[in-house]
Amino acid sequence: MIEHFICQVPLFYRALIPGGRWCIPAYRGKSVYLTFDDGPIPEVTPWVLDKLDELDVKATFFCVGDNVRKYPELFEEIKRRGHQVGNHTFHHIKGLEKSARSYIEDVEAANDLIHSRYFRPPHGHLLFSQVRELSKRYELIMWDVITRDYNRKLSPERVLYHVKRYTRNGSIIVFHDSLKAEKNMREAMPQAVHWLKEQGYTFMRIGDMP
């Protein structure tokens, strides 16, 4: 039961972030939104980009501002390859630990480098005051399926199971281009993409949403 609530956020929690986009069903056919959080980093992101090219899939990368500062060429490469980018704060901070003012300042510092109207809060945690202010400037992109690839206690097979168990039309799926998630993500993500294609899903970037 706990795993279910983590992998697919329940409706009562979604209601706490009004205006957040959790699932974006296609009007015709079936589509999903593949997203990656916490990069870019040179140890993982280049592999993800090459693998997505091989799989012929476009995705959306929610980038940490400090990583963009450190690796600007890698950030530009994400965009050059046709992927979407979004804001994931500058310091990967938790909303519940910050005032609305300090949180917004961190988000804005990231957006000075990222230049995106799409924002995803780390850990999905926001105060009502932060939601109110962020909604004036950004589209809040949440998720429908979190793969839990970052959990080193889980196997790649379990991560893949989460995709198969919880994905539906319009699901926004979260993987991570991070060191913590690397082992699970490298094995599970390509298998997940192949399986989703077999099920008839098409892949869209957040900017392609209706």
Q: Could you give the residue numbers annotated as active site?
A: 37, 176
Residue 21 gets which letter from DSSP?
B
The answer to whether 185 touches 47, Cβ cutoff 8 Å, is no
Q: Residue 64 contacts by C-beta under 8 Å, 6 or more apart in sequence? A: 38, 39, 88, 89, 90, 91, 92, 110
User: Could you tell me the sign of the dihedral formed by the alpha carbons of 41, 156, 92, 48, in that order?
Assistant: positive
What is d(CA 76, CA 174) in angstroms, rounded to the nearest whole number? 21
For residue 63, what are the contacts with CB-CB under 8 A and spacing of at least 6? Answer: 39, 40, 75, 78, 85, 86, 87, 88, 110, 114
Query: Does residue 121 sit in helix, strand or coil?
Result: coil
Contact 67, 206 (CB under 8 A): no
Half-sphere exposure of 83 (CA within 13 A, CB side): 29
